[in-house]
Chain A
Amino acid sequence: MKLKTLAKVGSVTLVTALGLAACGSSNSSSESGSTKTLNWQESANLPTLDPSKATDHVSAETLNNSNEGLLMVGSDNKLEPGVAKSYSVSKDGKTYTFNLRKSKWSDGSEVTAKDFVYGIQRTANPKTASQYSYLLDHVKNYEAISKNKMPVSSLGVKAEGNYKLVVTLSKPQSYFKYIVAMNPLFPQSEKAVKKYGSAYGTKSADQVYNGPYKVTGWTGTNDKWTLTRNKEYYNNSKTKVDKINFIVSKDAGTTLNQYQAGKLDVATLTGKQQVNNFKNSPELHKLPQASTFYLEMNQKKDPVLKNVNIRKAISLAIDRKSLTNDVLGDGSIPAKGFVPTKLASHDGKDFADAAEDSNETTNDVSYNLAEAKKYWAKGLKEVGKKSVSWTLLADDTPNGTKSTEAIQSNLTKLPGLKITNQNLPFKTRLANSQSGKFDLVVSAWIGDYPDPVTFMQLMESNNAYNNGHWSNAKYDELMTAAEGKDANNVNKRWNDMVSAEKVLMDDAGVVPLYQSVTPQVRKDKVKGLQYSNTGASYNFRDLYLK
């Protein structure tokens, strides 16, 4: 062995590495020449650019700006016209007619109503195995198609000429207008699907785009991709930022370092400490999510939980303010009810406010240990027990672990109650929730669209996600009315759901804990970012750099 040679090679490698590094410290500037560029952090990889298959927030954010549906959701869930200039709904609420504008795909071909028919049919087709096709459950014949009992061509979505799309529903759905803004209902070019075959949407080059940006530089598995101005977009003259670089940065510490070093213009913070560092900074934006974290109580496993006083005691014993402010500290806010705030409003009133019990003493979502102990004693007497011991199941995420510790210390203040915590990885936790292997579980739900029903339907007696098996005839009746006879009457439907939420809270069917918030930091120059708490969250169409 020639040791000298080896040693030389080694030292050469070292020196080269250091030498090259020293001269390679280039600074990425956000404005190179006249190109306006924004660097945007993502915490996860982009899984797909196939609108029928995308279910995660990264694909949704990318697709929402590279493609465009019939309508769009802007700031605060406000609906805006998309490819459809206008739309009308029939009196019975079952027929939606969309009038499309003339627009083009990034390859120069026309976007027509046929592309919408094709795209929506593709999502409904069981062969596509879309995990979001349930959004079409009100569309005529969807149920039969999903069970392979009818051909996909029978779906209630038809093109009348090139610029008119008619959607027929099986029953009225007042919030269908929000659903058409979501990526599973985006137009898709049949030509492109046929051309790219199984590669369709698996690389940025294997897709066509009809939105303000085209996706470039995505190899299908890499950690960086770019939204580049789409010159064929009908509103291209309004696009002010030429390039948006999506950069995957998963580690919280690294993300903050990159933001502080100016490599990222927009980033999401993680945890109490990071949020506290930006407490007084104008760069911090706490974006409320349409999500509720709540306790489900398994009545099937432990009949003690069937007792309403026991459930009320649990709810009243939990100090939500301390949980969100002291324990989580990431901007999360105490839940007012099951439906989160800022999800939906009617006549200027937020749903969560409308359904909230303003009377402090009867409000079951407030913190009142003395009252909790009374209910607890009463409940125990009714079920004939002196002590109970339960397992509290939750995710093994930092927030999941912190929550269980806080809830455990809250609940053990009830005499005779013993709580054992169990924190499991998400998929395992979910499987245990669904198969009923828990006494209490911290569940989370994120709304799909800005309508209370995206939450309310979960607690119906026969719903597959009602893991605690809470059942209430009054609640079911109100929800059946909201989805049935009152479905086409906005006022009645709203009141049905408000009453249903009150029933749910009065009966402590679930124990709402908190609503999560995305703590986002944004450099001052970033303006015009539209955020909505459901669907794709971010819309870059009004974005500009100061």
Chain B
Amino acid sequence: MVKYLSKRVFYLVLTLFIVTTITFFMMKLMPGTPLTNQEKLSPSEIHTIYQQYGLDKPVWQQYLNYLGGAVTGNFGTSFQFSDQPVSYLIFSRIGASLQLGIQAMIIGVLAGIVVGAIGAIKRNTWVDTTTTIISILGVSVPSFVLAVLLQNWFGLQLRWFPIAEWGGINYTVLPTLALAALPFAETARFMRTEMIDVLNSDYIELAKAKGLHQTGIIYHHALRNSLIPIITIVGPLAVNIMTGSMVVENIFSIPGIGEQFVKSILTNDYPTIMGLTIMYSFMLCVVLLLTDIVYGIIDPRIRITGKKD
């Protein structure tokens, strides 16, 4: 286990390094400057300002400087948020994004498991058809459309929840639901298929033959075994939520980090682009690593060793 973990951590660092390098050089290929008043500055004025930020140096030198800083925890200062350290920008805005993401994952996945299981147990009845339709809708309606609809119905018309902004937990309900739709629908679909498979398997037949109670069979045998494959889709779903939040945060005026990523790219805010790319890659790697570990714990058939990856 230790050997396996250290190997994975090594790959994580290597991945981050490669991502950082590629992003840095690709970013420098983008036309334009990170300056906020670029349209009104003459080339010579731009050069003077570049000198202050070290942007007049060759790209490879800027890259080395950046790496040197990043290793010691200095990710530079933002251009859009003038002089604000990028690490502060990320830490001060990531809380809202994380809270929404985690809430959406918990609610979406749990609701998906329940609905998917019900669909499987009552398969080929109207209950099954209804849950299938709901999950198809959940997959096909983009989160931003759902966000606008939720905002209009429950925010503006019914006034049950705030239309936008960030305050107490009631402010998180609509954006959470908008983000939860996809994990809910994906989980429900997956769960239904898995559960039907399991319900048709020999050991369930055996349990039935032994005269076990229907609920007992479902709880103790069918549900648990259907859950194992769900773990595999949780990782990619978490990633989906990270990207989905960019639009949803904008619609609900959430002071999160998602929208800053898009904006930093559009404004050539180099230090912010780098900081956020590293952060997103790190989160992605960690989620995938955790998925693998949890998978191994839950399903003893999957071996975690240092030899085979």
Contacts and interface: CB of A to CB of B under 8 A. Distances in A.
Contact of A24 (B31, B165, B169, B219): B169
Contacts of A6: 110
B215 interface: no
B251 A220 contact: no
A473 interface: no
Nearest to A22: B160
A257 B164 contact: yes
Contacts of B224: 1, 3
A178 to B, nearest CB: 16
B245 interface: no
A201 B173 CA distance: 34
Given A146-B48, A253-B148, A247 B81 contact: no
Contacts of B40: 131, 134, 448, 465
Interface stretch (A48-56, A81-89, A275-283): A48-56
Contacts of A428: 30-32
B42 interface: yes
B204 interface: no
B309 interface: no
Contacts of B36: 47, 55-56, 131
A129 B52 contact: yes
B79 to A, nearest CB: 9
Given A250-B259, A428-B32, A17 B169 contact: yes
A166 B35 CA distance: 32
Interface stretch (A7-15, A340-348, A486-494): A7-15
A426 B263 CA distance: 12
A425 B250 CA distance: 19
B168 interface: yes
- Chain B interface helix/strand/loop/mixed: helix
Contact of A219 (B92, B155, B267): B92
Interface stretch (A229-237, A258-266, A327-335, A510-518): A258-266
Given A146-B48, A254-B251, A25 B160 contact: yes
Nearest to A50: B82
A452 to B, nearest CB: 17
A432 B31 contact: yes
A223 B161 contact: no
A147 B51 CA distance: 11
Nearest to A4: B219
B41 A131 contact: yes
A254 B31 contact: no
Contact of B48 (A56, A126, A132, A435): A126
B288 interface: no
A249 B255 CA distance: 10
Given A133-B45, A221-B81, A222-B92, 14 more contacts: A10-B107, A16-B169, A25-B162, A45-B80, A126-B52, A129-B53, A198-B83, A202-B82, A257-B163, A263-B163, A426-B266, A427-B33, A427-B268, A428-B31
Instruction: List the 10 closest A-B pairs by CB distance, nearest first.
Output: A427-B32, A431-B31, A10-B110, A21-B170, A48-B82, A24-B170, A131-B37, A129-B52, A55-B37, A464-B42
14 contacts: A3-B219, A3-B227, A13-B106, A17-B107, A24-B167, A50-B83, A127-B52, A129-B52, A202-B81, A221-B92, A248-B255, A261-B163, A431-B31, A445-B39
Interface of A: 1, 3, 6-7, 10-11, 13-14, 16-18, 20-22, 24-25, 45, 47-48, 50, 53-56, 126-127, 129, 131-134, 146-147, 198, 201-202, 219-224, 247-251, 253-254, 257-258, 260-261, 263, 425-428, 430-432, 435, 445, 448, 464-465
